[in-house]
Chain A
Amino acid sequence: MFDNFVVPNLLPAAPEIFLTVMALAILMIDLLVKDSRRTVTFVLTQLTLIGCAAIQFATSTGEITYTFSNMFVDDLMSDLLKLFLYMTMLIVMFYSRGYIIDRESMNKGEYYVLALFATLGMMVMISANNFVTIYIGLELLSLSLYAMVAMNRDSVVSTEAAMKYFVLGALASGLLLYGMSMIYGATGTLEITGIAERLYGGGVNKSVMVFGLVFLVAGLAFKLGVVPFHMWIPDVYHGAPTSVTLLIGSAPKLAAFAIVMRLLVNGLITMAADWQAMLVILSVLSMAIGNLAAIAQTNLKRMLAYSAISHMGFMLLGIVTGVVSGDARYALNAYSSAMFYVIAYVLMSAGTFGMILLMSRAGFEAEEIDDYKGLNKRSPWFAGIMLMLMFSMAGVPFFIGFFAKFSVLQAVVAAGYMWLAIVAVLFSLIGAFYYLRVVKIMYFDAPVDDTPLVAPMDMRILISANGLAVAFLGIFPQVIMSLCAYALLRSL
C-alpha cells in the first residue's frame, strides 16, 4: 500500500518545519500566559527566528536542492533572502513591542503567532518551485497580514484598511491564479523549472502563454505594489497600525522579489522580451506616480507608502535589464543589483517605520510629518538617525541607498537603456524633494511638542544600530553586494 510512498528529503525545508512547530507551540503556550507576562511570547518568537537562522546556516549546502516532488527548492538565493528575512522580522518584532504593549487590543499572543505565520508564508514563497507552492505561501502571508491590519479592532481606519487590503489582495490572488492556470493550460505543468523546459522545447501555444503572462505580471505587480496596481498601498500603509505597516513595508518585499525571480526569471526567461516590456512600463509609471504623489502627502506613513511604490519601480529596473535582445550576458549583474536594492530598501524601510514607532507613545501616533518638527532640538541623536535614513532613501552617498541606486543604474546603463537611466535619475531628483522636506521639518523648524521620547532602551539601541548600519553599509557595501552576486550565480 505504501510502496509508492517515498519520504521526501526534509532537510531543505528544516527551517520551515521548525518555524511551523514553534509557531503552533507558541500559540499553545500563550494560552497559559497572562497579559502582563506577554514577554514570554515575545522572547519565544525571537528565539524561533534566531533558531530558524541557525538551522538555515547549518543546513545550507550551497547546492540547488529540490524536494517534495520538486515543489520546493533550496538554493543560495533562498538561503540569503531567508536570512535577511529572519533578521528583518527580528528587528520588526523588537520595534513593534513597545507599540503594541501601549495598545491593549493588539497586545495578544496572536500578534506574534500571526507574524510567525506571515514569516512562514514568505519563506515558502522564497523557496517555491511550483505555482501551487507560490500560491500557498502567498495566501499564508496575505491572510496573516489581513488579520494583523485589523487587529486594532476599535480603530475605524484600521478596519477599513484591512477590508480594502483583503478585497484588493483577493483580487490580486485571483489574477495571479488566472495567469497560472493559463500557463498551466499552455505547458501542462505547474512546476516552474518544468515550464522553463517546455518553453525551451518549443511547441507551446504562444498566445495563451502571453495571455497568462499578462495576468501573472498583473498579480505580481499587485503584490509588489507598483503602478497601476498600487491603489491599496497608501491606504493600507496609512490605515494599518504602525507596527503592522512596518511589517508590511519591509520583509514582504524580499518575498515579492523572490517570486518575481522564480516566476519570471526561473520559469519564463524565454519570454523575457514580453514581460520586460510590461515591467518597463510599470517601473516608469511607479517611479513617476510614486515620487510625484509622495510630494503632496502630509502623513508620513502615506508618504512612505508612495516612496515604497517608487522604490519598487526602481528595483524593477534591475529585473528588466537582465536580458537584452535575447542576450542574457547581463542577467547576473542586473538581477543581483535588484536583489541588493531590495535588501537595502528593506533595511531603510525598517529603520524609517521604526522611527515612527519610536516617536509614538500611548495615545499618540507620530505619523504626521509635522510631528517631527524640531526633532533636532528634542533629540539630536535620533534626528541624526532619521536624517541618515532620509538621505539614504533619497539615494545620497555615503548611505546604502546610494549604492542600491548605483548598482541598479549601472545595470541599466550596461544593458544600453540610456533613456531609462535618465528617466530614473530624474524621478529620483523629484523624490529627493520630499525626503529633504522631512529633514527640513526636523532641522529647520522649531518644535511644537516638547515631550521627551519615551521609547525603551532596547529599541533606542536597535534603531540607532539600524541607522548606523545604513551609513556603515553605505561606506562598505561590498560584502552584501558580492553576497547577492554570488548567491545568484549559484542559483540561476
Chain B
Amino acid sequence: MSTYPLLSLAIWIPIFAGLVVLTTGGDRNAPLARMISLVGAVAAFLITIPLWVGFDVANGGMQFVELSSWIPRFNINYHLGVDGISMLFVVLNAFITIIVVAAGWEVIQNKVAQYNAAFLIMSGLMNGIFTSLDGVLFYVFFEASLIPLYLIIGVWGGPNRVYAAFKFFLYTLFGSLLFLIALMYLFIQSGGSFSILEWHKLPIALGPQIWLFLAFMIAFAVKVPMWPVHTWLPDAHVEAPTGGSIVLAAIALKLGAYGFLRFSLPILPDASHELSGLVIALSLIAVVYIGFVALVQEDMKKLVAYSSIAHMGFVTLGFFMFSAMGIEGALVQMVSHGFVSGAMFFCIGVMYDRVHSRQIADYGGVVNKMPKFAALFMLFTMANAGLPATSGFVGEFMVILGAVKFNFWVAFAAASSMVIGAAYSLWMYKRVVFGDVANHHVEELSDINMREFAILGVLAIATLWMGLYPQPFTEVMHASVNDLLRHVAISKIQ
C-alpha cells in the first residue's frame, strides 16, 4: 500500500487549484483561468488512478486510511478512508470534474475564474464527503459543499435562478441540521466519539434508532431526492448552468444515497429493517409517479431532472431490500446515472447554447442539422431508458432481480418504470430530434465541435463499457457490500 496521503490529495488538490484559479482575477485572464482549472481537474483525476490501481478488492474494510487528531476538545478526527462503496464515487467525481471544466470552456464568458474555482472547490469537498470516516468531518464537507453550488446556480443560472438557489440551499440545510443533532446524539451515546466506524458497533435501543433513522432520512432524502421532498431538484436543474446540472445530477444526488449506506444501514440496522417498508414505498412512488410526471414535461431539463428522481428511486429501492444484488445494482445504477444524466444534461446544454431554449416545442428535426450530435444523444437517451448494452440497463436489471426475490409486486412496480422510462426518454428524443426542421433556429444549428464531441465521446465510452462489461465496477464493491450486509443483519438491540 502506498504511503502517500492519496485521499487528502484527492480532496485538497482541487480545492487548492480552485484557490489558485481565483487569483487569476478578472475575465482578462480567462484563458489562463481555464487552463489552470483543467490542469487542476486532470491532476485531481490522476491522483485517483493509484487509488483505483492500489485498491484491494478482496478487502471489504477501509483502505488508504488517514487518521490524525483535528479537534481534540470534542474528539473530532481528520479520519479518511475508502471502501469499495466510496471508491467508485471518488473516481467518478474526479472524472466528472474534468467534464464540467471542459463543458464550460467556451460557454462561460462571465466571471470565468470564479466559475471554475467554484466547481474545483466543490469537487474537493465532495471527495471529502465520500472519504470521511468521522461524523463531523463528513458533516462539515456535506454542508460546505452547499456554498459553491448555491453560487453556481445563483450567479450563472437562468432567469429564475435566485428562487432556485435559495430553495436548493434552504431545503438541503434543513435536512442536514437535523442530521447534525443526530450526530451529536450518537456522540453522547457512544461516550464521546464521532467515529463512524465506532458507531457501526454501537448498540442502540430500537426507540432511539427509529428517531435517528428519521433524522438521517430527512437529511439524505432531501439530498437524493426522494418523493415528496424532491421539489427543489427540478428548479435547481432548470436554472443551473450546464456544468451545475451535470455536477448536481452526477455527484450531488449521490451524496444522499451514499449517506444511507454509510450511516443509516450499518448504524441503525434494526430501524432500517423496521422502516424499510416506508423507504420502499417512497422509492416506488418516485419510480412510478415521478416517471409519469416526467412524461408530461415541456422543458427538457425538467424532464431529465424528473427522470433523475425516478432513477434515484431505484437506488433507494435497491438499498432497502438488504440483498447483495439489490445494493450492488443500486450502486451500479448510481455510477451509471452519473455518466448518463451528466451526458443528458450536457446534450441539452449543447442545444441550449445554440438556440437558447429548453422547450421541447422549440425544437424538431435537429438530426437534419446535427447528425453526429443526434447519434450520441440517441445513445444516452437509450441508456436513460435502460436499454440493454448500456450502463442504464445493468443497474436497473440488478435491482429488479433483487426485488423479485424480495416481493413480486415491488418488482412489478419497479419494472414498470422500464416502460415509463422508455416512454418519456424516447418521446422527448423523437420530438426534439426527428421530423422536419421545425423553425429557423433549428435551421441555423451547427453540429457539435471537437470539444463537445470529445466530451460526449468519453461519456459514451463509459456508458457502453459499464453496459457491456460491468465486472470491474461490481468487483470493486463486492467485498464491501458483503461487509455492509453483515452489519445490517446483526441486531443492535441489547
Identify the A interface with B (CB < 8 A): 376, 380, 391, 396-398, 402-403, 406-407, 409-410, 413-414, 418, 421-422, 425-426, 428-429, 432-433, 436, 439-440, 443-444, 477-478, 481-482, 485
- B170 shortest CB reach to chain A, Å: 6
Closest B residue to A445 by beta carbon equals: B162
Chain A residues with Cβ below 8 Å from B177 are 425-426, 428-429
B173 at the interface (CB under 8 A from A): yes
- B316 shortest CB reach to chain A, Å: 24
Known: A425-B178, A426-B177, A477-B71. A413 touches B184 (CB 8 A): yes
Closest B residue to A422 by beta carbon equals: B181
What does DSSP make chain B's interface, helix, strand, loop or mixed? helix
- A383 shortest CB reach to chain B, Å: 10
> Is there an interface contact between A429 and B166, defined as CB atoms closer than 8 Å?
no
> Is there an interface contact between A398 and B71, defined as CB atoms closer than 8 Å?
no
> Is there an interface contact between A406 and B169, defined as CB atoms closer than 8 Å?
no
B144 at the interface (CB under 8 A from A): yes
> Is there an interface contact between B180 and A409, defined as CB atoms closer than 8 Å?
yes
Total contacting residues, chain B, CB less than 8 A:
37
> Is there an interface contact between B74 and A396, defined as CB atoms closer than 8 Å?
no
Closest A residue to B70 by beta carbon equals: A478
> Is there an interface contact between A485 and B169, defined as CB atoms closer than 8 Å?
no
> Is there an interface contact between A482 and B73, defined as CB atoms closer than 8 Å?
yes
> Is there an interface contact between A440 and B154, defined as CB atoms closer than 8 Å?
yes
Question: In whole angstroms, how far apart are the Cα atoms of A403 and B76 in the complex?
Answer: 12
Q: Contact mask B1-30 → A, CB, 8 Å, 1/0?
A: 000000000000000000000000110000
Q: Contact mask B135-153 → A, CB, 8 Å, 1/0?
A: 0100111011011001100
> Is there an interface contact between B188 and A414, defined as CB atoms closer than 8 Å?
yes
> Is there an interface contact between B71 and A478, defined as CB atoms closer than 8 Å?
yes
> Is there an interface contact between A380 and B25, defined as CB atoms closer than 8 Å?
yes
Known: A398-B140, A410-B74, A432-B173. A443 touches B181 (CB 8 A): no
> Is there an interface contact between B185 and A413, defined as CB atoms closer than 8 Å?
yes
> Is there an interface contact between A432 and B170, defined as CB atoms closer than 8 Å?
yes
> Is there an interface contact between B184 and A444, defined as CB atoms closer than 8 Å?
no
> Is there an interface contact between A482 and B72, defined as CB atoms closer than 8 Å?
yes
Chain A residues with Cβ below 8 Å from B272 are none
Question: In whole angstroms, how far apart are the Cα atoms of A295 and B155 in the complex?
Answer: 22
Closest A residue to B188 by beta carbon equals: A414
Known: A402-B140, A409-B184. A436 touches B72 (CB 8 A): no
> Is there an interface contact between A444 and B147, defined as CB atoms closer than 8 Å?
no
Chain A residues with Cβ below 8 Å from B114 are 376, 380
Known: A406-B136, A485-B73. A429 touches B174 (CB 8 A): yes
Closest A residue to B111 by beta carbon equals: A376
Known: A425-B177, A429-B173, A482-B72. A396 touches B184 (CB 8 A): no
Question: In whole angstroms, how far apart are the Cα atoms of A267 and B140 in the complex?
Answer: 38
- A123 shortest CB reach to chain B, Å: 27
Known: A444-B162, A485-B73. A397 touches B143 (CB 8 A): yes
B321 at the interface (CB under 8 A from A): no
B161 at the interface (CB under 8 A from A): yes
> Is there an interface contact between B178 and A422, defined as CB atoms closer than 8 Å?
yes
> Is there an interface contact between B165 and A478, defined as CB atoms closer than 8 Å?
no
| Apart from the given pairs A398-B144, A409-B181, A478-B71, 5 other A-B contacts in the complex at a CB distance below 8 Å | A376-B114, A380-B25, A380-B114, A422-B181, A443-B151
Question: In whole angstroms, how far apart are the Cα atoms of A433 and B171 in the complex?
Answer: 11
Question: In whole angstroms, how far apart are the Cα atoms of A432 and B139 in the complex?
Answer: 17
> Is there an interface contact between A443 and B25, defined as CB atoms closer than 8 Å?
no
B45 at the interface (CB under 8 A from A): no
> Is there an interface contact between A443 and B185, defined as CB atoms closer than 8 Å?
no
Chain A residues with Cβ below 8 Å from B397 are none
Question: In whole angstroms, how far apart are the Cα atoms of A485 and B155 in the complex?
Answer: 42
- What would 30 A/B residue contacts be, using CB atoms closer than 8 Å? A376-B114, A376-B155, A380-B26, A380-B114, A396-B143, A396-B144, A396-B173, A397-B141, A397-B143, A398-B140, A402-B140, A406-B136, A409-B180, A409-B181, A410-B188, A413-B181, A413-B185, A421-B184, A425-B178, A428-B177, A429-B170, A429-B173, A433-B170, A436-B166, A440-B162, A440-B166, A443-B154, A478-B70, A481-B71, A481-B74
- B71 shortest CB reach to chain A, Å: 5
- A285 shortest CB reach to chain B, Å: 20
**Residues of chain B in range 56-82 having any CB-CB distance to chain A below 8 Å:** 70-74
Question: In whole angstroms, how far apart are the Cα atoms of A398 and B184 in the complex?
Answer: 18
Known: A398-B140, A398-B144, A414-B188. A421 touches B165 (CB 8 A): no
> Is there an interface contact between B155 and A413, defined as CB atoms closer than 8 Å?
no
Chain B residues with Cβ below 8 Å from A413 are 181, 184-185, 187-188
- A125 shortest CB reach to chain B, Å: 27
- A227 shortest CB reach to chain B, Å: 22
Chain A residues with Cβ below 8 Å from B188 are 410, 413-414
Chain B residues with Cβ below 8 Å from A481 are 71, 73-74
Closest A residue to B187 by beta carbon equals: A410
- A80 shortest CB reach to chain B, Å: 15
Question: In whole angstroms, how far apart are the Cα atoms of A426 and B180 in the complex?
Answer: 12
Q: Of A414, A436, A485, which one neighbours B150 at CB under 8 angstroms?
A: A436
Question: In whole angstroms, how far apart are the Cα atoms of A402 and B146 in the complex?
Answer: 14
